[in-house]
Amino acid sequence: MHSPSGTRPKKRLACDRCHARKLRCSSDLDGCTRCLGDDLVCTYSPALKVGRPSKASMAGREIQQPQSVSDAAFYGISDGDAVTADSGISMPPSPPQLGDSCITDHTALFSSFDFTNTLDNFNATNPFLDMPMDEDLWPLATSPPVSSNDPNIDPRLCLTNKTTNASSPLDRLSSLQQELLRTKLPPAHTRGVGTKPRPAKYTEAAMRPVQETLGAVTELLQQYITRHPQRGIVIYIVSGLHAVRLAGVPRCRPEDRSAVEINLAGDCGGLPIETSVSHIEDVSVQLEDKSIMELLNSVVISGPPQAVTGGCTLDDSSLLHEESLLNGQWVQAQSGKRFDVEDPGSGQIWATSPTNQICDVDKYVESSEAAFQSYRHINPRQRAKILLKWHELITNARQDIAKIVVFETGKPMAEALGEVDYALGFAWWFAGEAERIRGSIAQPSISDRRTFVIKQPIGVCVALVPWNFPVAMIIRKVSAALAAGCSMIVKPSPETPFSVMALADLALRAGLPPGVLNVISTDNANTPPVSETLCKHPLVRKVTFTGSTSVGSIVARHCSHGLKKVTMELGGNCPFIIFDDGNLEQAVAALMILKWRTAGQACTHANRVYVQSGVYERFGQMMVEATSKLRVGHGADSSSTMGPLTTARGVDKVNKHVQDAVSKGGKILCGGKRPENLNGYFFEPTIISGMTSDMLTTQEEIFGPILGLYKFETEEEVVKKANDTSMGLASYFFTRDVSRTWRLLESLEAGMIGMNTGNASCAESPFGGIKMSGYGKEAGKDVAIEEYLVQKTGTLTVEDGPKL
């Protein structure tokens, strides 16, 4: 496999697989680096990587011309340029000398290493070369590392897989290998001819779009080349549960990989690191006086600590989809672009999803329209059976779905399971509603006429959903549409695409015809144009939206162009009222859930807590005492009782509200800041007394863990204050006075009223607000399914016949 030292490798003009001109030699492998992957070390010139060489070149050697504009951009050179030692491009490090501070005795150092992972042992007969990149390789992503002596496994797959129970990537490394990882690196420079040394940086320009990611796996792939010990250790950081598939299988697409090689002015000749572009954008790592292990810790590694030691590991790993769902197939965006999804509990990226754009929308709508024309004729009982089967499959997969929700939203596991169980009620309920759709017959005043009213599914529907309750939102909206006989396109929030994909997968398994439920994902930047295109598409007949009032008004304007039917479940500024005669223990228990669940991120949560003066101080003390028992932490930690906010912008808003309240006389009773010992988007549960009407918390929906206490004297006063908002989603009160209960039910301006309870939502009752909190209902008998139906009136003239 090796040519004599100093001999240039033979250049192949065409690839045996894709017939493209090679970028660089691939030894004896059949195929170019575009087909075989980028992780192959050029055995002819160890200082260069196959297919992804650095800007360095050996003296007197030329770097082969890039074959495309993108390649040229990657290398940082322009078309037609030849890069030589005189080109001002950085040169490779000189070989180390024995006795250097980095490595002492190379012979002793490498003699104890297992060299079975080197490319010398990798040849064209490897079975992975012809294995398809599909489910055949999936078991490798979750199975423990295998022996390198296994003839059926690519030797490069024998590495530390953090999806196992290993507590550290170093667990399976020898002490000598661990010592090497802790060895200090020399100063790192990109040294150009005639230029001053400058620090090495990770740059986006040097990256390729990241591979499909389904979780968080960090792999240490060690390649020791005995005849070139100056090469040192080569470390890969790979993002995603598909990492073993992409790092170990040569046959992977270039657009699925990203790699950057950092030239070190010392013993470690190359440090290729794979990660996503978004990781690199904000990272500039100075390598000077750092060990490789310290470097690993300073670089963003995909996935939180929990994911590193198990994390979002599902019992049914096939439920985790990093593609969109179109006509029953899991597909990428037309552009091939993807966006990162963060774990709010760590602030780190744990998966990616397709970035669909305007150009992708048509095929989703056309698929849904074609599916609707068939599905509309399926009888109600069969639709009900599909929903009941979906309910059964979701019930069986509730643990896996909850795990996904934990890593998407940050919710503690108990909360995530509670959301799944709550959502299941809607699937069961709407299965019954499918067979309760009724028309009517009337006899007009004209004796020879008869009037009939029939109800039919409206057509293609679009659901635009938020991130705070991804499972409940989807099941509630989709179940109603499917029961009515409609098809639906779901555009999930960029923060929570995977729980939606899992539910859609289960719907297919339940027997839902392809195309009846399509899911189109996209990032935050493309959400407005994609949503607008969906709303304005002529084949879309109905849109259901849950989100803020400001965005809801925009969606309504988009839908007005086609006079589409719209359901709006918008923001809330919900009052929570405790009277002197109320049951304080009951009120505290209800408010603990209604305020701190989902870290305060729900439109129905209590935004303003009004307490009558007679129990104001006592109730405040009871809430502080109960709140102090909460444990804030990552949702995957079983001891956590409150998770993080889902987004960084949510933390900023909460902090702004706290500062505003304090500046206007509010007193912090507990919390008020971010925890110092936690990464991610955490904020302490905060209780503030002395709230007034001029504070932001009074005027805006908080959507965070802030509880503001307001004092009032009379019923008339508190009703006026409670209604002093443009919102009207929900209101809550606690009193033992029956007459007052009836008065408040009539006088409070909200679509849902909680009377001595903090739970005003269930599948059997209509869900929705009034005023600026929206219109239309999403649950309850008859009303919710009516949102997905159209009525037709038929009039028949009956001819006179014989009198019977």
CA distances from 344 to 240, 399, 677 (A): 17, 19, 15
Give me the mean pLDDT over the 346-369 stretch. Answer: 95
Closest Cα to residue 267, out of 195, 378, 187?
Answer: 187
What are the tens digits of pLDDT across the range 612-650?
A: 999 999 999 999 999 999 999 999 998 999 999 999 999
- Phi, psi of 44, rounded to the nearest 5 degrees: -85, -35
Closest Cα to residue 530, out of 362, 334, 335, 340?
Answer: 362
d(CA 508, CA 360): 22
In this model, does residue 174 exceed pLDDT 90?
A: no
- Phi, psi of 760, rounded to the nearest 5 degrees: -115, 20
Q: Where does 321-569 sit in CATH, by number? A: 3.40.605.10
- DSSP secondary structure letters along 332-350: --TT--EEEEEETTTTEEE
In this model, does residue 425 exceed pLDDT 90?
A: yes
What are the tens digits of pLDDT across the range 246-264?
A: 222 222 333 333 332 222 2
In this model, does residue 496 exceed pLDDT 50?
A: yes
In this model, does residue 702 exceed pLDDT 50?
A: yes
pLDDT of residue 306: 30
Note the Cα 221 to chain centre separation in Å: 27
Closest Cα to residue 711, out of 735, 691, 733?
Answer: 691
Instruction: Give the range among 196-205, 237-246, 527-536, 725-734 with minimum mean pLDDT.
Output: 237-246
pLDDT of residue 614: 97
d(CA 56, CA 226): 22
Q: Which CATH class for the 574-768 domain?
A: alpha beta
pLDDT of residue 739: 97
d(CA 349, CA 215): 9
Closest Cα to residue 330, out of 475, 519, 186, 161?
Answer: 519
pTM: 0.64
321-569 with 574-768: one CATH topology? no
Per-residue pLDDT band for 156 (boundaries 50, 70, 90) equals very low
Active-site residue flag, 603: yes
In this model, does residue 483 exceed pLDDT 80?
A: yes
Give me the mean pLDDT over the 461-488 stretch. Answer: 97
Domain ranges (residues) in the chain: 321-569, 574-768
Give me the mean pLDDT over the 749-770 stretch. Answer: 92
Residue 177 near residue 113, CB atoms below 8 Å: yes
Per-residue pLDDT band for 317 (boundaries 50, 70, 90) equals confident
pLDDT of residue 197: 34
pLDDT of residue 577: 98
In this model, does residue 593 exceed pLDDT 90?
A: yes
In this model, does residue 687 exceed pLDDT 50?
A: yes
pLDDT of residue 347: 87
Per-residue pLDDT band for 345 (boundaries 50, 70, 90) equals very high
Q: Please give the structure tokens belonging to residue 418.
A: 């509670």
The conformational region for residue 665 under phi > 0 = left, psi -120 to 50 = alpha, else beta, is left
What mean pLDDT value characterizes the chain? 71
Per-residue pLDDT band for 564 (boundaries 50, 70, 90) equals very high
Per-residue pLDDT band for 142 (boundaries 50, 70, 90) equals very low
pLDDT of residue 570: 95
Which residues of 615-737 form beta strands (DSSP E)? 667-670, 686-689, 706-712, 730-734
Indicate if the alpha-carbon torsion angle 504, 505, 508, 513 is positive or negative.
Answer: positive
Closest Cα to residue 147, out of 161, 163, 158?
Answer: 158
Of 274, 323, 495, 569, the active-site residue reads 569
What are the tens digits of pLDDT across the range 4-31?
A: 444 444 443 444 444 443 333 333 334 4
Give me the mean pLDDT over the 534-555 stretch. Answer: 96
DSSP code, position 282: T
d(CA 10, CA 44): 10
Cβ neighbours of 203 (radius 10 Å):
13
In this model, does residue 559 exceed pLDDT 50?
A: yes
Give me the mean pLDDT over the 156-184 stretch. Answer: 36
d(CA 669, CA 663): 15
Instruction: Give the range among 173-187, 224-238, 314-328, 631-645 with minimum mean pLDDT.
Output: 224-238
Angle at 122 between CA 121 and CA 123, to 5 degrees: 115
Residue 435 near residue 380, CB atoms below 8 Å: yes
Per-residue pLDDT band for 583 (boundaries 50, 70, 90) equals very high
What are the tens digits of pLDDT across the range 211-246?
A: 222 222 223 222 222 322 332 222 333 322 222 222
In this model, does residue 366 exceed pLDDT 50?
A: yes
Burial 769-779 (b: 16+ CB within 10 A, else e): bebbbbbbbbb
In this model, does residue 119 exceed pLDDT 70?
A: no
pLDDT > 90 in the chain, percent: 56
Give me the mean pLDDT over the 721-745 stretch. Answer: 97
Per-residue pLDDT band for 804 (boundaries 50, 70, 90) equals low
pLDDT of residue 802: 75
What is residue 207's three-state secondary structure?
A: coil
Of 312, 461, 559, 603, the active-site residue reads 603
What are the tens digits of pLDDT across the range 28-85?
A: 334 444 443 433 333 322 332 333 333 333 233 332 332 332 322 222 223 333 333 3
| Residue scoring higher pLDDT (697 or 232) | 697
DSSP code, position 711: E
